[in-house]
Amino acid sequence: METPDQIRDRLLARFPGASVAVVANPGPAAQHSLLLGSGEARAMAEFLRDSPGLRLDFCSNVTGVDWLDREVTDVASKTIPDPAGGPPKLVEQRTKRLQPGYLEVVYHLYSVELRHGPVVLRLRTGNRSDRVAVPSLTPVWRSCEFQEREVFDLFGVVFDGHPDLRRILMWDEFKDHPMRKDYVEPDDYEWEPTPHADVLAKARRHYPAAAPAAKEEPAP
């Protein structure tokens, strides 16, 4: 099985000028992934499916990730002259900046034919508000269809070219996307038919106050 760096190099050789980057995973699994630019994503997906030596013919999983605005630190190295006349010194410059939020779609690919994988792909939206579209990969791997609908439903990612993009878990009139990190659930527990556990405490806030018990009059 080729490494993510080798697959990236194959994609860049086939699609010069395309946006392809390896995203390192610092965790114990070290399952690195490939971040694809939206412009060539579907063509690159077809290449990964059809290319000899890869034959990534099965997409097992599609999921969404919500990245909020966050502060990141850029580190750059710079040489400065030594006032004492010694050799130049290498120093690090750290600059903090605000990284705007975005939504991400993650695909796990395998080759049933060649029995290898996974290869992990990532697609990113432009932001979390009005630039939330990415190309659908359902035309490449049919197993993406319901899973992309789930990401659309719960995260709000719009999949251009999806054959049947509509909600799959929430009802059509439902507002917002429940898996967003800033999602605020509605306080509608008065409609809960069988409240229990934490839901019971929320539902009780809507129950009518109990009427005060009537006082008994003393016997004459």
pLDDT, position 196: 87
Strand partners, 70: 99
In one-letter notation, the amino acid at residue 111 is S
pLDDT, position 217: 67
pLDDT, position 127: 95
In one-letter notation, the amino acid at residue 180 is R
Q: Where are the domains of the chain?
A: 4-66+103-167, 178-208
Nearest Cα to 60, choosing from 117, 113, 103?
A: 117
pLDDT, position 78: 79
The CATH superfamily label for domain 4-66+103-167 reads NADH:ubiquinone oxidoreductase Nqo5 subunit (3.30.460.80)
Q: Which residues of 159-185 are buried (b: 16+ CB within 10 A; e: fewer)?
A: beebeebeebeeeeeeeebebbeeeee
pLDDT, position 216: 67
| pLDDT by residue, tens only, the chain of 220 residues | 899 999 999 999 999 999 999 999 988 888 899 999 999 999 999 999 999 999 999 999 999 999 999 888 888 887 888 787 778 887 888 888 898 999 999 999 999 999 999 999 999 999 999 999 999 999 999 999 999 999 999 999 999 999 999 999 998 888 899 999 999 988 877 777 888 888 888 888 888 887 666 666 666 6
Task: Note the pTM of the prediction, 2 decimals.
Answer: 0.81
